[in-house]
């Protein structure tokens, strides 16, 4: 069985299947924030979605991070490092990418176990 959450005409915000949670790419609600502010917003959104699925960030299996500008890597990592659970840091990839909205500085995709 596949559970879908916040289903829209184009995509769902999250799907759960066979004990695995798949999140859509998360972006900041307030795109006027700095990379640190946008990163924190995205991580807060991830926390909320994972809780809705009955899991949390300690069970993240994989994270994919898309940065508008790779020069934001260190600042983003400072926020990330304060958020992840020590001893439960997930495998992760970070790339520079042209995001769908020019005001977005970061988008994160997460897969987690329930």
pTM confidence score: 0.96
Q: Which two tokens stand for residue 2?
A: 């596949």
| Residues whose CB is less than 8 angstroms from the CB of residue 22 and which lie 6 or more positions away in sequence, other chains included | 14, 15, 16, 111
- CA–CA distance, 88 with 10 (Å, rounded to integer): 33
User: Given this model, what pLDDT does residue 32 score?
Assistant: 95
Residues of the chain with pLDDT under 70: none
User: Given this model, what pLDDT does residue 74 score?
Assistant: 98
User: Given this model, what pLDDT does residue 6 score?
Assistant: 95
């Amino acid at each position: 069985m596949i559970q879908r959450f916040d289903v829209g005409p184009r995509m769902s915000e999250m799907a759960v299947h066979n004990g695995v949670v798949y999140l859509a790419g998360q972006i900041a609600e307030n795109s006027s924030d700095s990379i640190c502010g946008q990163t924190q917003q995205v991580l807060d959104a991830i926390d909320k979605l994972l809780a809705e699925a009955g899991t949390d960030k300690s069970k993240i299996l994989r994270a994919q991070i898309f940065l508008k500008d790779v020069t934001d890597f260190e600042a983003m990592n400072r926020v990330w490092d304060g958020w992840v659970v020590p001893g439960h840091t997930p495998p992760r990839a970070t790339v520079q990418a042209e995001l769908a909205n020019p005001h977005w500085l970061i988008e994160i995709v997460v897969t987690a176990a329930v």
